[in-house]
Structure 1
Amino acid sequence: MDRRIDGTVAVLTMRHRPHNLLDPVLCQEIIESLRWSADQRVRAVVLASGLRHFSAGADLDLMLPAAERGDGVLDWPMLDVLRAFDELPLPIVASVHGICIGGGLELALACDLIVAAGSAKLGSVEATVGLHPLMGGIQRIAQRAGAARAKEMAMLGRRYDARTMERWGVINKVVDDEHLQAATMTIARELAGGPTVAHAATKALVSVAVSEGVRAADEAMAELQQPIFRSTDFRTGVASSQQNGPVMGRFEGR
C-alpha cells in the first residue's frame, strides 16, 4: 500500500499484486493506512489502485483452506476493515477503475463516496463460487439502492457497467477514464476544504441512522453536534455567511 500526502488529502494506493485480491495481508494494510491517515492531520482520504484493476475480489486460494479449518466463519479481519472505514472521522473517496468485484466492490462501498471510470465493471460476483458477499456488500447495496437491487446483485452474480451503478445509486459519479484521477482529487479537495468537523459528525450520524434507524439518529444528534458548535469552523462559517451569503467559507477543520 502506497501512502502519500497531497496537500490536505491522504492518497492510499493499493498495489497488492496481481489484482489487489482481498486477503488478511491487504486487510491489515488498509487498516494501518487508515490509521496512518488519521495521524497525518489530513482532512480527506482517497482510496485508489496502482494496478490494472481496483480489485478483482478475494483470494480464493487462501479463502478455501481458511474456511475449512474454521468453524464456519472466515477468520479474516473483515469486520475490523469495515470499522476502520466507518470510524475514521474523515471523508473517504474511492477512485475505481478496471474491475471492481466481490471484496473489491465491498472496499469501495465502505468508503463515503465512490467515483468510477466509465469503463469500470462492478459487481457482487460471489454467487459464481457458491458464496455471497462476506464483507458488508449486501447491506451497503441495500442502503444505497434498495433491497431488490441488493438481492439482484448478490443472487445473479453479474458484472455491471459504471453508468448502471450510478443510475441505481450504488456509486456517486462516473467520469471518462482519463479524468478519473483529476475528478477524484477535485472532490477530495472540496471535502478537505469544507467544515471537516461537521463532516465527521455527518458521517457518524449517517452510521447511526443506517444501523439503528431514524429515531436513534434523532436522539444522537445533540451529542454528535457538540463538536460543531465548539469549532472554529462554525464561527468562521457564520461570519462568512453574514458577509458573503450562503457560499462555502474557508475552513480549517478545527
Structure 2
Amino acid sequence: MVANQAMAESSNGTPSEPDSGPVARELDGPVAVLTMRYAPHNFLGTELIAGLLDGLRWAGEQRARSVVLRSGLRHFCAGADVGLFESAERGAAPALDVTEVLRAFEELPIPILASVHGACVGGGFELALAADLVVAAESAKIGSVEATVGLNPLMGAIQRVAQRAGAARAKEMALLGRRYDARTLERWNVINRVVPDDQLVGVTSTLAHELANGPTVAHASTKAIVGVAVSAGTRAADEAMAELQRDIWTSSDLKVGLASLAANGPGAARFEGR
C-alpha cells in the first residue's frame, strides 16, 4: 500500500470517520491522530491553520499522550495558499499570526510526530519542523521553496534548520529554494527518520504509541527544557531545569518507574501518564 493510500485509513486500519473540516480527528488509544484533508494539496492558509489549532486543542482536551500529524491526500502539504499573499499588492505582509501556530506546537505538553509523504514544501515543511519528531517516506520531497516566488520562509524554517543543521545548510535551503530527498535531510539532521513508503504508517504508529506509553510528565518537561535551550541557550536551560522538572517528582510515572526498576530491572515499566 502506498503512503497516501494508507493515510486515508485510521491508524488501527479502519476507515476514518467522515469529517467535513480541513483536519480529521481521531483517537487511536492514547494517540491523537490529526489528518489534514484540505483539498487539493493541503495548501496552508487561514482555514487549515484554524483546523490545526483546533485539533491540537482537542488533543489536549482528550488527554492524549502523543499526537500524529499526517495527510490524507497525495501530499503532506504543498505550500502556502497563494491567497495569503494578496497583501503584497499593498506592500504589506499577510495579516496572519504565524507565531500562534508555532507556539501551539511548542506549548502542547505532549510529543507531536509529523508523518510526511509526497510534497512537504514551504509552509508544509515548516509545519513538520514545528513538530517534535519528523518521520518521512523515502519518496517524499521536502524543502523551502519560497525563493522561487521572491519570498523566504515565513513560519520559522530558517531558524529551525539553523538549529538542527547549522547556518550553512539553513542558508542553502532558503537561498536555493530546492526540493530535497528525505535521505539527504535525514543525513543533515533536519528530520529524524526515513522509511520505505509502505512502512510509513506502521513506523509512525509504533513511534507514536511508544511515546504515548512513556512517562508523559517527563516528556512534557523534556519539551519545555529543549524549548528554553534553543531559544535562550544552555545556561538558561540549566537555570530553568529544576523548575521545569518539578512536576516529575510528584508524578505517578516516577513512582511506577522506580518500583518497576526495583522489581523487574530497566525498561519494563508501564506508565500511567500522570
TM-score computed with the length of structure 2 as normaliser: 0.90
1:8 aligns with 2:9: no
Question: Which residue does the alignment assign to 1:63?
Answer: 84
1:15-30 equivalent positions in 2, closer than 5 A: 15-30=37-52
1:151 aligns with 2:191: no
TM superposition outliers: structure 1 runs of 4+ over 3 Å: none
- 1:171 and 1:65 mapped to 2: Cα distance? 32
- 1:137 and 1:35 mapped to 2: Cα distance? 23
1:42 aligns with 2:64: yes
* Structure 2 residue matching 1:198: 3-state secondary structure: helix
- 1:205 and 1:142 mapped to 2: Cα distance? 19
- 1:41 and 1:202 mapped to 2: Cα distance? 18
Question: Which residue does the alignment assign to 1:211?
Answer: 231
Q: Percent identity?
A: 65
Instruction: Please point out which of 73, 77, 93 is paired with 2:113.
Output: 93
Q: CA deviation at 1:78?
A: 1.2
Instruction: Structure 2: give runs of 5+ residues left out of the alignment.
Output: 1-22
Question: Which residue does the alignment assign to 1:200?
Answer: 220
- 1:111 and 1:64 mapped to 2: Cα distance? 25
- 1:73 and 1:228 mapped to 2: Cα distance? 42
* Structure 2 counterpart of 1:63, one-letter code: L
Question: Which residue does the alignment assign to 2:75?
Answer: 53
Q: CA deviation at 1:248?
A: 4.6
1:220 aligns with 2:240: yes
* Structure 1 counterpart of 2:110, one-letter code: L
Question: Which residue does the alignment assign to 1:75?
Answer: 95
- 1:18 and 1:126 mapped to 2: Cα distance? 20
Give the conservation status (yes or no) of the 8 Å contact 1:233–1:251: yes
Question: What's the Cα RMSD here?
Answer: 1.0
- 2:101 and 2:136 mapped to 1: Cα distance? 21
* Structure 1 counterpart of 2:68, one-letter code: V
* Structure 2 residue matching 1:139: 3-state secondary structure: helix
Give the conservation status (yes or no) of the 8 Å contact 1:46–1:92: yes
User: How many residues are treated as equivalent by the alignment?
Assistant: 252
Give the conservation status (yes or no) of the 8 Å contact 1:28–1:77: no
Q: Deviations over 1:145-189 (max 9, x none)?
A: 111110000001010001001111111011110110110010000
Q: Deviations over 1:59-115 (max 9, x none)?
A: 11x12213334x633211311110110010010000000000000000000000000
- 1:75 and 1:29 mapped to 2: Cα distance? 18
Q: CA deviation at 1:245?
A: 2.1
Give the conservation status (yes or no) of the 8 Å contact 1:55–1:101: yes
- 2:162 and 2:44 mapped to 1: Cα distance? 22
- 2:192 and 2:221 mapped to 1: Cα distance? 20
- 1:5 and 1:66 mapped to 2: Cα distance? 38
Question: Which residue does the alignment assign to 1:122?
Answer: 142
- 1:136 and 1:184 mapped to 2: Cα distance? 24
* Structure 2 counterpart of 1:100, one-letter code: C
